[in-house]
Amino acid sequence: MDEQYLLKEIASLKEKLREKEDNLAKLRFEKQILQGHGLNNGEIARYSRQILLPEIGVKGQLKLKNSSVLVVGVGGLGCPSALYLAGSGVGHIGIVDYDDIEITNLQRQLLFSSLDIGKSKVIAAKEILERLNDNIKITPYKLQIQSSNALEIIQHYDVILDATDNVATRYLLNDACVISGKPLISGSALQFEGQLTVYNYAGPCYRCIFPKPPPPEAVNNCSDSGVLGAVVGTIGVMQALQTIKVILKLPGILSGRLLIFDGMDMTFKNLKLRSKNQDCEVCGRNPTIQTLIDYEEFCGSKANDKHQNLKILTANERISVNEYNELSHTPLKPFILIDIRSNQEYEMCHLKNSINIPFSTLSSKGCLDALKKEINKNETDISNVYVLCRRGNDSQKAVRALKNYFTNSDIQVKDIIGGLHAWSHDIDPEFPIY
C-alpha cells in the first residue's frame, strides 16, 4: 500500500466519521433540556467549573455564550487562544487565515497534527474546535485580511484578537478596530519573549504607542529568528484570558499597560503605557486616518510571511545550483564555499566542504581579515568565493559586502541562486528543508 493511497483512505474514513459525529451531536442536542435562564443541562455541566466563580456565574456564562470573537491568525498565538475561547463557551468564534498547514507549524500550532499538512488552517481548526465544543459556532475565513475586507468582517464581532505575525496587519487591525469601535487584544512572541496588551479599550491604540512602523531591516520573524512553542502559547492563552475578561467587563484589563514576558528569566514585566495620544493619527482629536489605507506601503513590508526573492545581484554575480554542483565535482580552480546561515542552521544541515560564517558576523572587520588570511594561506591561489544561504536572499547581500571588501583583488565572489532550498529541489532531494 503506498502513501498516497493510505492518505486518501484515511481522509475518506475521517469524512465518514465526522458525518456520524455530527449526527450524534444533533441527536444529543435535540434531547437537551433548556433551563429558564437560557443554558441547557449540557452547558451547565460543561461550564460548571467556571460558573462556580463568583465573577462569572450563570450571567457571565450567558454573556460568553452571546458574544462573538474574531481571531486573526491561526498560528502559534491563534491556536491556543481559539482553543481556550472555544472551551470557555464563547458562542461565536471567527477565525481568519489564508495559509495552509506546514510541517514547520506543528511544533507550536497545536490545533494541527501531522496528517493535516497541506490542509487549510481555518478548515482544520474549525473541525477541531467544533469537536471540542459542539455548542458553539465557528466561522472560518480562508483569506488574507486587508483594507478591502477588514471592516466588513470585523463588524460581526465584539472583540478582535491580533494573533498575526506581521507589522502591516497589526496597523491594519488597529485602525480597523478604532474605526469600528472594537477592543483589540494584541499578542506577539519571538524567541523566548512575548508581549501582550489591549488596545482601543478606554485607552491608547497601537498608533498612540508606536506611531511609526519599524523599518523592514528591524523586523524579525519566527522562520528566521525562531520561537519556542510554549512561549508563544503562553501569550496566546493570556490573549484568551484578556478576551474573556473584556466580554465579562471584569477589572484588571491590560489597557494602557504592556505585559512583557521573558521565558528565559521567567519574569513578567507590567509596563504602564501612556494614555491616549490626543494627536494620534487614527484615535486622536483630529484623526487624519478615517478609512483604511495601504498598510503594506505604509510599513514598507508585506502583510504575509510568504518569502520573496530579492534581486540585488546581476546574472554574472550568481551561479545556479547545477553549475555549482558541476564545478564542485571537477573544480578547475580552487574555491571556498561560505554558508552564511546561523550556527544553529548550519548544525541542522550543510553542504560538504562549506565553511560557516553567519551573515551577522560576516561584515565585521575581524571576520573579513580572517577570511582574507584563509584565502591567502592556500598555496594554490583561490580565485572563487561562493556564498550560500537558505533561499538565496541574504547570500546576495553578503556578496555585496564581500565585494566591497575584496575591491583590489582577483577574487570572484558569487552567490548560489535559490540557496539550499534550490539545492534540495534540483540536486539532492535527500537534503532537508526547513
Partner 1 sequence: MWMEMSENTTGKSARVKILFFAKARELSGFKESEIVVPVLISFIELKDQVIEIFNLETIRDIVILAVNEEFVEPDAFLKLTEKDEIAVIPPLSGGTSFS
Does 189 participate in binding partner 1 (rule CB under 8 A)?
Answer: yes
Q: How far is the CB of 401 from partner 1 (least distance, A)?
A: 15
Nearest residue (CB) to partner 1, 318 versus 390: 390
Whether the CB-CB separation of 200 and 159 falls below 8 Å is answered with no
- Of 48, 308, 364, 409, the residue at the interface with partner 1 (CB under 8 A) is 308
Q: Which residue has the cell 532550498?
A: 421
Return the half-sphere exposure (C-beta side, CA atoms, 13 A cut-off) of residue 88: 30
Q: Which of 305, 328, 361, 383 binds partner 1 (CB under 8 A)?
A: 305
- In the bound state with partner 1, the residue whose beta carbon lies nearer, of 208 and 247, is 208
Residue 195 in contact with partner 1, rule: CB under 8 A: yes
Hey, what's the torsion of the CAs at 43, 49, 50, 51, to 10 degrees? 60
Binding residues for partner 1 restricted to 359-378, rule: CB under 8 A: 359
What are residue 139's DSSP bridge partners?
A: 94
**132 assigned binding-site residue:** no
Binding mask 220-249 for partner 1 (x = CB under 8 A): xxxxx-------------------------
Cβ–Cβ < 8 Å for 419, 392: yes
Q: What are phi and psi of 189, to 5 degrees?
A: -155, 145
Which of residues 83, 101, 122, 167 is near partner 1 by CB under 8 A?
167
* Of 350, 323, 328, the residue nearest 339 (C-alpha): 350
Asked whether position 190 contacts partner 1 by CB under 8 A, the answer is yes
Asked if residue 404 binds partner 1 (CB under 8 A), the reply is no
Residue at grid coordinates 511544533: 107
213 binds partner 1 (CB under 8 A): yes
Query: Cα(69)–Cα(246) distance, rounded to whole angstroms?
Result: 11
Residue for grid cell 489605507: 293
Does 74 engage in binding with partner 1 (CB under 8 A)? no
Give the x-and-dash track for 328-357 against partner 1 (CB under 8 A).
Answer: -------------x----------------
Contacts with partner 1 by CB under 8 A: the residue count is 49
Listed residue (196, 149, 205) closest to 178, CA to CA: 205
Task: Label the pairing between strands 184-190 and 384-388.
Answer: unpaired
Cell 475518506 identifies what position? Answer: 12
Annotated binding residue at 208? yes
Q: Which stretch binds partner 1 (CB under 8 A): 38-46, 54-62, 205-213, 404-412?
A: 205-213
Phi, psi dihedral angles at 294 (to 5 degrees): -90, 105
DSSP code string of 74-108: -STTHHHHHHHHHHHT-SEEEEE--PBP-GGGTTT
| Residues 257-286 within binding reach of partner 1 (CB under 8 A) | 258, 260, 269-274
3-state secondary structure of 307: coil
367 has catalytic annotation = no
> Is residue 200 part of the contact set for partner 1 (CB under 8 A)?
no
Residue 389 falls in the annotated catalytic set: yes
Binding residues: 76, 97, 104-108, 121, 165-166, 205, 208, 280, 283
Residues near partner 1 (CB under 8 A) are 164-167, 170, 188-190, 193-195, 209-210, 212-224, 258, 260, 269-274, 301-302, 304-308, 310, 341, 359, 389-391, 393-394
List, by residue number, the catalytic residues. Answer: 222, 389
Binding-site residue numbers for ATP are 76, 97, 104-108, 121, 165-166
